[in-house]
Structure 1
Amino acid sequence: MAAGQGDHKFWILGVDDEPQNLEILEEILGDQFELTLVSSGRACLDEANAAPPDLILLDVNMQGMDGLEACRRLKAEPNTSDIPVIFVSAYSKLEERLAGYRAGGDDYVTKPFDDEELLIKVKLALAAKRQLDSLQQSSTDALDVAQTALSVSGEAEALLHFLGAAYPLNSRADLGKSMLDMFECYGLRVVLRIEGEDGDLYLSHEGDVGPLEQEVLEMGPDDGRFIDFGRRTLAKYGGVSVLIRNMPVEDVNRHARWKKNLEIMLQISNARVVGIDNEQRLQRQGETLLRMQDLTRNILSDMRNANDSSEGVSRSGVERIIDQMDLLLDAVESEVGRQ
Structure 2
Amino acid sequence: MTKLVLAIDDDKLVHHIIEEAISHFCKLIHAKNGDEGLRLALKYHPDIILLDVEMPGMSGFEVCEKIKKSKKLADIPVMFLSSKADVAERMRGYNSGASDYIVKPFNRDELIARIKVLDAYRQQSRKLTQDIRRAEMTAEIAMTDSGDMGRIMRYVGQSYHAHDLTTLSEYFFEFFVPLQLDVAVAFWYHNSEVFLSGNGALQPIEQELLSKHRDGSRFVDFGRRTIINYPKVSLLIKNMPVDDNAMYGRYKDLLPHILEATNAKIKDMEVSEDALSKVDQIGRVFEELSDQLGGIGGHHSNKVAELGELVKQAQALDAQALTIEQVSELEKLHQHFSFVDDELSIIKFKLSEITEVRHQLIESLNKIAKPWGEEEVAAQTDIELF
- When normalised by structure 1's length, the TM-score is 0.66
Q: Match of 1:57, SS?
A: strand
Alpha-carbon distance, 1:203 to partner? 2.1
Alpha-carbon distance, 1:266 to partner? 1.0
- For residue 37 of structure 1, the aligned residue among 19, 31, 41 is 31
Counterparts of residues 112-261 of structure 1 (less than 5 Å) = 121=114, 125=118, 128=121, 139=132, 142=135, 146=139, 149-197=142-190, 199-222=192-215, 225-261=218-254
Alpha-carbon distance, 1:165 to partner? 0.4
Alpha-carbon distance, 1:159 to partner? 1.1
Choose 196-205 or 51-60, whichever is displaced more.
51-60
Choose 233-242 or 295-304, whichever is displaced more.
295-304
Q: 1:146-185 deviations in whole A, cap 9, x for unaligned? A: 2662222212211111010001221222212221222233
The answer as to whether partners of 2:99 and 2:203 remain within 8 angstroms in 1 is: no
Higher relative contact order (CA 8 A, sep 6+): 2
- Which amino acid counterpart does residue 162 of structure 1 have in structure 2? Y
Counterpart CA distance in 2 for 1:161 and 1:52 is 48
- Which amino acid counterpart does residue 33 of structure 2 have in structure 1? S
Greater Cα radius of gyration, structure 1 or 2: 2
Distance 1:207 1:36, change over 3 A: same
Alpha-carbon distance, 1:221 to partner? 4.4
Q: 1:222-267 deviations in whole A, cap 9, x for unaligned? A: 4762223333322221111222333344433223222332211111
The answer as to whether partners of 1:60 and 1:88 remain within 8 angstroms in 2 is: yes
Alpha-carbon distance, 1:188 to partner? 2.8
Counterpart CA distance in 2 for 1:84 and 1:250 is 26
Distance 1:280 1:121, change over 3 A: closer
* 1:291 aligned partner: 284
Distance 1:135 1:59, change over 3 A: same
Alpha-carbon distance, 1:37 to partner? 2.1
Structure 1 alignment gaps of length 5 or more: 1-8, 313-339
The answer as to whether partners of 2:8 and 2:37 remain within 8 angstroms in 1 is: no
Counterpart CA distance in 1 for 2:110 and 2:241 is 34
Distance 1:104 1:208, change over 3 A: closer
Identity of aligned residues (%): 29
- Which amino acid counterpart does residue 171 of structure 1 have in structure 2? D
The answer as to whether partners of 2:121 and 2:203 remain within 8 angstroms in 1 is: no
Counterpart CA distance in 1 for 2:255 and 2:234 is 11
Choose 274-283 or 253-262, whichever is displaced more.
253-262
- When normalised by structure 2's length, the TM-score is 0.59
Distance 1:259 1:146, change over 3 A: farther
